[in-house]
Chains A and B, each alone.
Chain A
């Protein structure tokens, strides 16, 4: 082996190692931030509980009053925020790396719009509430994703065709949502609108368990698929040359991403832009070339819990749905992302 080759090898190993060290450090910091926000969210509210009290209660040693407030009222809400944020973040990162486009998150291409249409149908037409709405939303997201995939199929699915078909399908679904909203009486329409914005109000353990199960199954699946995602990143030809079954791989990554988005939407509503911002922020933290799936999930969780804290505190006693905050923060970020992606020629 020549010296030059040996040096190059050493260099590659060094870069790889420093990259993974950075990922570990960033992930730990993000996890710590998430933990702090988690405790903070449990401690604040109409009824303040000091952090020490929160920790005691979580360890099963709190007063009866604290135990009720934290375990029965606040914990489900914060858990939904944490898990849904993580699921959205991971889902967005999967979509974005699959299509090689930072704009291809499930909320931009219409997958969560399918969940919305189904949920509004449940609320306004069928008049159901609670867990049935979540179930409907879940089914809606999966059905929409399947439709988009089939419509985009032409001897394989290219990234852009998928995104554009998604936009078209999303437009139809959104007009159906508007139609249903115009038909409903104003109170049930407003209820539907709160759900449509993405809200964490009145979440209970019936929202937590399905979401937890979903994340527990899909997170490892996503990590297993990460290698394949990296191979697809070289382009279809190269990936085929490396022996990857491109379409199967792409389909399984899509299914994982859609299922994550569907679980999150079913629990928290179509909270805008969390799936979209998590990936780019995570990549910026750990370095542009990594997939950063775990950091993206953590960023999603942090964004979601922090936004919910702001939403509850922003107007004093009048709590906004969390989606208003993520929308207000996410929209300018989206514009900036779009502008820089186009300037670098990655936007299309």
Chain B
């Protein structure tokens, strides 16, 4: 599936390029041919970015859902994207950063701070962080951060111009160098996250059982949270805020594999880029010759899943 969608992502675009030329471009690249140039400088990097961002969001979503035992966890809905966006705007407007390496650090900081605030607020009180409390905290913190972001952006039209293009969540116009810069962060995040399956399985049984099984809960939570922040921060800096991928994909993975996180995590890592690239291709096809950014398409696909989850009997904790 993933290979098929990747192929589609390379093949489909605003300019239609016949399959023979496509194969030719991949096997015998000639920089003087316009079609070959499009494929090598635009479509291949875009597909690579889609693969990376998708995998990061899928794994981060799965880790988040396991960590908080929360069926509604998603980097977008829990306000992490809004936090990354705010610090990015501060970075652009106050420190004048432009490149991705700058974006990434601000994205991290924003994601980390917001994650702490949202979880901190959600976890106050007797029954700790229930899905409903976390979702409400996330929405509220998002609203608060977004209004600060708007205030900054209104007084700085240059930052606004750059911000509004980043804000939608898109894979367009990211070149190979960007993907290369983001790669180390994502690899580290994934290497730590994928083997967390056992930890998450233990946490899923409840804190007491996990402790009895010899897991150090505090350490497990800290490692998991760090992965989420690294993965979400990088993905958000790379593609902008893409919501609902981290929410939807782990649920699909769970349907395929059952409740074992040792399987859910790798499945999510494969399914999420499939969804993201499919959404990206769809966005390019339906709005020809323009395109609808991938963040919009995933929102339109993901929201019904969210609503369905909310409508389910009792918002079952995972």
Contacts and interface: CB of A to CB of B under 8 A. Distances in A.
Chain A contact-residue range equals 35 or more
Given A168-B303, A171-B243, A321-B154, A334 B136 contact: no
A160 interface: yes
A186 to B, nearest CB: 5
B164 interface: yes
A151 B305 CA distance: 12
A270 to B, nearest CB: 10
B133 A348 contact: yes
A154 B313 CA distance: 10
Interface residues of B, number: 52
Given A167-B135, A194-B154, A328-B147, A178 B130 contact: no
B168 A163 contact: no
A171 B154 contact: no
A339 interface: yes
A327 interface: yes
Contacts of A170: 139
B62 to A, nearest CB: 20
Interface of A: 101, 103, 107-109, 151-152, 154, 160-161, 163-165, 167-172, 175-176, 178-179, 181-182, 186, 189-190, 193-194, 196-197, 272-273, 320-321, 323-324, 327-328, 330-332, 334-335, 338-339, 342-345, 347-348
Given A160-B315, A335-B121, 16 more contacts: A164-B310, A168-B77, A169-B307, A171-B244, A175-B243, A179-B168, A320-B154, A323-B147, A323-B150, A324-B147, A328-B148, A330-B144, A338-B136, A342-B133, A348-B133, A348-B136
14 contacts: A161-B310, A164-B72, A171-B244, A178-B168, A182-B293, A189-B160, A190-B157, A196-B150, A328-B147, A331-B144, A339-B121, A339-B124, A343-B124, A345-B125
Interface of B: 72, 76-77, 117, 121-127, 130, 132-133, 135-137, 139-141, 143-145, 147-148, 150-151, 153-155, 157, 160-161, 164-165, 167-169, 243-244, 292-293, 295-296, 299-300, 303, 306-307, 310-311, 315
